[in-house]
């Protein structure tokens, strides 16, 4: 018998704590009286919420809606058997059989341009740069014509992912498959589908995107500074476009099917952390907080996943000072986190400290040297560990710092860590009332 996986990484997510689950979970659980729940205030990919829910009830919070979907699926995965999966795939194919012929020009254009991408990369680069139907303008007349004829068809099929992100983050063919899956699971703004199904679409989109880091901050840049197309990047994007969303989706459902339920209930909430802290009651026994530490807004990096989770028409924000869509095709409205804004970050931490003090709750803060920016553009922290500890000391009777290593267990005793902190150490800051 194959061993069941302990956990899953449901999407590629900057700053996720999958590598540090053991020390975080053992540390927080030991501070939480049995019978009381753990508040995971910035749940992100949901991997930490799932592990907490193996030991205590969890309240899993994040401002991004995809987080609630992922945490819901990870904590209480639904096992879809082969016949149900086949039924979903058949519905998706039916949808494709209906819509594909109506956008044949667009798909034929894409197939031709992709076929000659390595020998004639200019047109392929333009497809990635100008493929979105949020603007019907395109340098290549054939592309402009194909977009024009496909636009009303995609609108009437409610094929949001193809209209907004097709050609750019995914091929049109892949984006159509993603739209077909959303239609097959009947996922709409008004009536969201079951979490495991939507989580499987999120995992699929995260696997399909060809950017380094698998995020959506901006599409792959195919040109060098002189404007010449870089063959290696074109080849990478092309390779990523050979994957099938339908196949990946099926694999994701199988992964969720082999995951044990976490055990304890996990309540998911899509809300600002301050709204949740304002209504804390005695059922909560400890707070775990893993907020952003850099200027990078998660809402910018994962906006496509947010659109999938919400199943809405996202609209598009404009490039600053212009009337053209932003290069990243960001949603018209997106959250700006106070943790990523220099003038607001101290106040944001203070509101966690105030609430924990008011409720006399222990607080465990993660502080990560990684997880911000990209490899090419690492971001510096808006708060230092020292700054955070000094601030927290004004609210708690004891504040200690604990470096943690991947796969270690840690008892968060009161001994202050006196050694030099390794510059790249992942740490937990433990504040006791
Ligand atoms: C470092 S990530 C958390 C990663 C998570 N622990 C994991 O393992 O996947 C920070 C999270 O904070 C969320 N966030 C940012 N501002 C927020 C706010 N005002 N209220 C609630 N969540 C917020 C982001 O959406 C992001 O998912």
- Does the CB atom of residue 52 touch ligand 1 within 6 A? no
Q: Ligand 1 pocket check: which of 63, 214, 309 to mutate, most ligand atoms within 8 Å of Cβ? A: 63
What per-residue confidence (pLDDT) applies to 402? 93
Count of Cβ atoms closer than 10 Å to residue 101 Cβ? 10
Considering the domain architecture, whether residues 221 and 281 belong to the same structural domain is answered as: no
Ligand 1 centroid to Cα of residue 224, in Å, is 33
- Does the CB atom of residue 372 touch ligand 1 within 6 A? no
Report yes or no on 328 lying in a domain.
Answer: no
Report yes or no on 311 lying in a domain.
Answer: no
Residue recorded with tokens 């500890």 = 389
- Does the CB atom of residue 293 touch ligand 1 within 6 A? no
Considering the domain architecture, whether residues 119 and 65 belong to the same structural domain is answered as: no
d(CA 234, CA 224): 12
Question: Alpha carbon of 293 to those of 342, 365, 430: distances in Å?
Answer: 10, 11, 17
Considering the domain architecture, whether residues 284 and 243 belong to the same structural domain is answered as: no
Considering the domain architecture, whether residues 155 and 40 belong to the same structural domain is answered as: no
Ligand 1 centroid to Cα of residue 79, in Å, is 27
Ligand 1 centroid to Cα of residue 142, in Å, is 42
Report yes or no on 147 lying in a domain.
Answer: yes
Considering the domain architecture, whether residues 285 and 219 belong to the same structural domain is answered as: no
Considering the domain architecture, whether residues 269 and 369 belong to the same structural domain is answered as: yes
Question: Alpha carbon of 282 to those of 21, 64, 285, 358, 431: distances in Å?
Answer: 26, 26, 7, 11, 18
What per-residue confidence (pLDDT) applies to 136? 95
d(CA 185, CA 107): 24
Instruction: Give yes or no for a contact between 286 and 48, defined as CB atoms under 8 angstroms apart.
Output: no
- Does the CB atom of residue 64 touch ligand 1 within 6 A? yes
Instruction: Give yes or no for a contact between 30 and 55, defined as CB atoms under 8 angstroms apart.
Output: no
Considering the domain architecture, whether residues 182 and 104 belong to the same structural domain is answered as: yes
Ligand 1 centroid to Cα of residue 173, in Å, is 32
What per-residue confidence (pLDDT) applies to 2? 43
Instruction: Give yes or no for a contact between 189 and 169, defined as CB atoms under 8 angstroms apart.
Output: no
- Does the CB atom of residue 57 touch ligand 1 within 6 A? no
CATH number of the domain where residue 410 is located: 3.40.50.150
Instruction: Give yes or no for a contact between 277 and 59, defined as CB atoms under 8 angstroms apart.
Output: no
- How many domains is the chain partitioned into structurally? 2
Strand-by-strand arrangement of the 426-432 sheet: 266-270, 58-62, 37-40, 284-289, 363-367, 426-432, 398-404
Closest ligand 1 atom, CA of 337? 16
User: Which domain-ending residue is among 207, 225, 257?
Assistant: 257
Considering the domain architecture, whether residues 32 and 129 belong to the same structural domain is answered as: no
Q: Ligand 1 pocket check: which of 292, 382, 404 to mutate, most ligand atoms within 8 Å of Cβ? A: 292
Report yes or no on 306 lying in a domain.
Answer: no
Report yes or no on 319 lying in a domain.
Answer: no
Considering the domain architecture, whether residues 236 and 205 belong to the same structural domain is answered as: yes
Report yes or no on 6 lying in a domain.
Answer: no
- Does the CB atom of residue 51 touch ligand 1 within 6 A? no
What per-residue confidence (pLDDT) applies to 1? 40
Considering the domain architecture, whether residues 142 and 111 belong to the same structural domain is answered as: yes
For 245, phi and psi rounded to 5 degrees?
Answer: -65, -40
User: Which domain-ending residue is among 206, 238, 257?
Assistant: 257
Report yes or no on 42 lying in a domain.
Answer: yes
Burial of 1 by CB count in 10 Å (0-12 exposed, 13-18 middle, 19+ buried)?
Answer: exposed
What is the mean pLDDT for each group of 10 consecutive residues in the chain (433 residues)? 67 93 96 97 98 98 98 97 97 98 98 94 96 95 98 98 98 98 93 95 96 92 96 95 98 97 96 97 97 90 97 95 95 93 96 98 89 58 91 97 76 54 78 97
- Does the CB atom of residue 184 touch ligand 1 within 6 A? no
Ligand 1 centroid to Cα of residue 268, in Å, is 13
Report yes or no on 195 lying in a domain.
Answer: yes
What residue numbers bound the domain in which 101 lies? 82-257
- Does the CB atom of residue 67 touch ligand 1 within 6 A? yes
Considering the domain architecture, whether residues 176 and 271 belong to the same structural domain is answered as: no
365: its two tokens: 């803060």
- Does the CB atom of residue 273 touch ligand 1 within 6 A? yes
DSSP designation for 295 = S
Considering the domain architecture, whether residues 223 and 105 belong to the same structural domain is answered as: yes
User: Which domain-ending residue is among 226, 257, 288?
Assistant: 257
d(CA 220, CA 382): 27
Instruction: Give yes or no for a contact between 240 and 210, defined as CB atoms under 8 angstroms apart.
Output: yes
Count of Cβ atoms closer than 10 Å to residue 258 Cβ? 13
């Amino acid at each position: 018998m194959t061993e069941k996986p302990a956990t899953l990484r449901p999407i590629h997510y900057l700053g996720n704590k999958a590598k540090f689950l053991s020390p975080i979970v053992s540390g927080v659980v030991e501070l939480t009286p049995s019978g009381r729940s753990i508040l995971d205030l910035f749940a992100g990919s949901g991997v930490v919420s799932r592990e907490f829910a193996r030991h205590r009830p969890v309240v899993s919070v994040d401002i991004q809606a995809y987080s609630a979907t992922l945490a819901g699926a990870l904590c209480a995965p639904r096992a879809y058997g082969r016949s149900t999966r086949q039924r979903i795939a058949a519905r998706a194919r039916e949808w494709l059989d209906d819509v594909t012929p109506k956008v044949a020009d667009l798909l034929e254009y894409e197939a031709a341009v992709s076929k000659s991408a390595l020998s004639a990369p200019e047109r392929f680069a333009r497809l990635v740069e100008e493929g979105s139907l949020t603007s019907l303008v395109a340098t290549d007349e054939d592309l402009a014509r194909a977009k024009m004829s496909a636009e009303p068809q995609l609108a009437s099929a409610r094929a949001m992912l193809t209209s907004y992100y097709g050609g750019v983050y995914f091929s049109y063919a892949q984006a159509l498959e993603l739209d077909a899956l959303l239609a097959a699971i009947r996922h709409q703004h008004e009536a969201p589908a079951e979490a495991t199904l939507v989580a499987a679409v999120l995992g699929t989109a995260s696997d399909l995107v060809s950017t380094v880091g698998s995020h959506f901050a901006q599409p792959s840049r195919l040109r060098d500074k002189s404007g010449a197309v870089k063959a290696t990047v074109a080849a990478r994007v092309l390779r990523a476009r050979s994957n099938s969303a339908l196949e990946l989706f099926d694999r994701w459902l199988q992964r969720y099917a082999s995951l044990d339920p976490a055990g304890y209930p996990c309540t998911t909430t899509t809300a600002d952390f301050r709204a949740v802290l304002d209504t804390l009651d005695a059922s909560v026994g400890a707070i775990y907080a893993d907020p952003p530490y850099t200027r990078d807004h998660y809402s910018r990096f994962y906006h496509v996943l947010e659109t999938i989770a919400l199943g809405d028409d996202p609209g598009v924000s404009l490039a600053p000072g212009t009337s053209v869509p932003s290069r990243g095709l960001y949603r018209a409205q997106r959250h700006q986190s106070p943790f990523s804004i220099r003038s607001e970050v101290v106040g944001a931490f203070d509101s966690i400290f105030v609430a924990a003090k008011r409720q006399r709750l222990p607080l465990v803060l993660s502080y990560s040297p990684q997880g911000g920016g990209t490899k090419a553009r690492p971001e510096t922290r808006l708060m230092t560990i020292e700054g955070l500890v000094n601030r927290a000391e004004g609210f708690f009777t004891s504040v200690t710092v604990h470096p943690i290593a991947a796969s270690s267990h840690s008892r968060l005793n009161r001994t202050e860590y006196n050694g030099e902190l390794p510059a790249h150490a992942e740490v937990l800051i433990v504040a006791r009332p």
